[in-house]
Amino acid sequence: MIGFGKTDLGSARNNNEDSIFVSNEGVGPLENLYIISDGMGGHNAGEVASGKAIEFFVAHISEFEGVSQEGIAELMTTAVRHANRCVHNISCSDANLSGMGTTFTAATFADGKLYIAHLGDSRAYVVRPQGIRQITEDHTYVNDLVRASIISDEQARTHHLRNVITRALGSEEHCEVDAYVLNVQEGDRFLMCSDGLSTMLEDPAIEATIAESSGLESAIIQLINAANESGGYDNISVIMIGEGGA
């Protein structure tokens, strides 16, 4: 698998609070590593939170020399919790950064499996001939309402509280992390994105844009362009991963 990524300011923001990390080479015991982190907070706190979260996560992973396949999910989850403590400590020690936090979605591939550690409302998708499917769960107040059948998916897209996140890295001393393991099938492509993409484009539009693109890098550019054409109200970060760069 090989991945490419790009982050974009969007059409309405003055600064980019998203951070991404793309490594097709080993990071510590992991064969590869891809991360989307979408920060929040006043002043420049959001971009500090997203950047530092990645920095602390990668540094923790890099301390290890080896890990079994069974231990990959636990290693990633532990690294997210470590990054959470470090970012939270910074927010507590600097009044300008108080209350900052970030979404965090990290992925790695090993021996035919995809491993994800996730919290927040950035997303990971798998794209197959049968269609596009969201792998991760949005940790938002509005998604909780959808799951409880209080509002519909369509109502959720325009709900006035759709940006309220229920889990974020760094905003509290402890965090709850979702871990996913997925068997990779031949021809699978994977999309990771911040909500600057998913709030501008519905899943069918994302799928169609990827299908019409000539490759992974082209898909990234076309997705960002489409999100900006739809309003670009937030920063837009996209990572595409597939076999041989196709």
Summarised one tens digit per residue, pLDDT across range 171-227 is 999 999 999 999 999 999 999 999 999 999 999 999 999 999 989 999 999 999 999
Residue 246 pLDDT exceeds 60:
no
Name the maximum alpha-carbon separation found in the chain. Answer: 50
> How far is the C-alpha of 115 from the C-alpha of 1, rounded, in Å?
13
* pLDDT score of 42: 67
Instruction: Give the confidence band of 36 by pLDDT, cuts at 50, 70, 90.
Output: very high
Ramachandran quadrant class, 47 (left: phi over 0; alpha: psi -120 to 50; beta: rest): alpha
- Exposed/middle/buried for 160, CB within 10 Å: 0-12, 13-18, 19+? exposed
Q: Rg for the chain (alpha carbons), in Å? A: 17
Give CA separation, 184 vs 46, 49, 109, 126, 243, in Å.
33, 31, 9, 9, 11
pTM of the model: 0.94
Residue 80 pLDDT exceeds 80:
yes
